[in-house]
Amino acid sequence: MRLTLGFSPCPNDTFIFDALVNGAVDAEGLDLDVRLEDVQTLNEWALAGRLDVSKISYGVLPLVAREYAVLASGGALGLGVGPLLVARPGLGAFDPARMRVAIPGRNTTAHLLFSLAYPGAAHKQFMVFSEIERAVLSGAVDAGVIIHEGRFTYRAKGLERLMDLGEHWESRTRSPIPLGGIVARRTLGPEVLGKLERLVRASAEHALARRPLVTEYVRCHAQEMDEAVMRQHIDLYVNAFSVDLGEAGRRAVGTLLDVYRQVNPGAPALPGDLFV
């Protein structure tokens, strides 16, 4: 069976999926057509139902949950992993009613966490995550929400942190942060969905057993080519929740969906079976 599979070129995703897409884990008859794109593009493709299996931001899950179910393996969830709000030195206090802020996509979890912290923000500009630091440094925006390897490199690029949006989330909800998960089309049926979950878990376990190895597959797709940064990225975003969400991970996703409904009153009801 041929299936389209989408995930980002970030080190945590390529680290998790390397074994599966490059043959170190037997795909058990599945022929995977891999597409690597930034997370907002993957969110938009999920909204359009374009891929069979995909990484998404949990922030877009409420909009795609009727078509896609969440796999227990392959995602990014944890403590201390949230996005950061950054600016050029000397900006002072961030004024959400007046200042322009760059956000890595309308349907990202980063946008949801920013909205929880700054519900009155009036001048949001949505762009690909890799463009945000440059937009802040050039003055095109006053501040930006950074994700992925930006967390490790923003100081070296001359930016300063205004708020750790993950810490704000954790203090408000007492919950780990569900950043992104793997979803699969419900119409694939229970047998294929179960196989996919098992294979993604096996691929994650294969990678973690070889940590701290950074493979060529990870290196060739990373935005930040410094290997120390790649290792930091993997160490932060790949953990036990990436192997299996478990009950704690499922509760954290439920908490995020509750916050989504607070931030988006009138959002449609969700199906009762979110997970495979």
Annotated binding site: 55-57, 109-110
Which of 231, 272, 251 is CA-nearest to residue 58? 251
Annotated binding site for substrate: 55-57, 109-110
| 123 among known catalytic residues | no
Question: Is residue 8 exposed (0-12), middle (13-18) or buried (19+ Cβ within 10 Å)?
Answer: buried
Beta strand 53-57 with 177-185 is antiparallel
d(C-alpha 262, C-alpha 79), whole Å: 22
d(C-alpha 47, C-alpha 108), whole Å: 12
CB 71 within 8 A of CB 18: no
* Active-site annotation holder among 148, 168, 206, 221: 148
Other Cβ atoms closer than 10 A to 232: 17
Q: What is the set of active-site residues?
A: 148
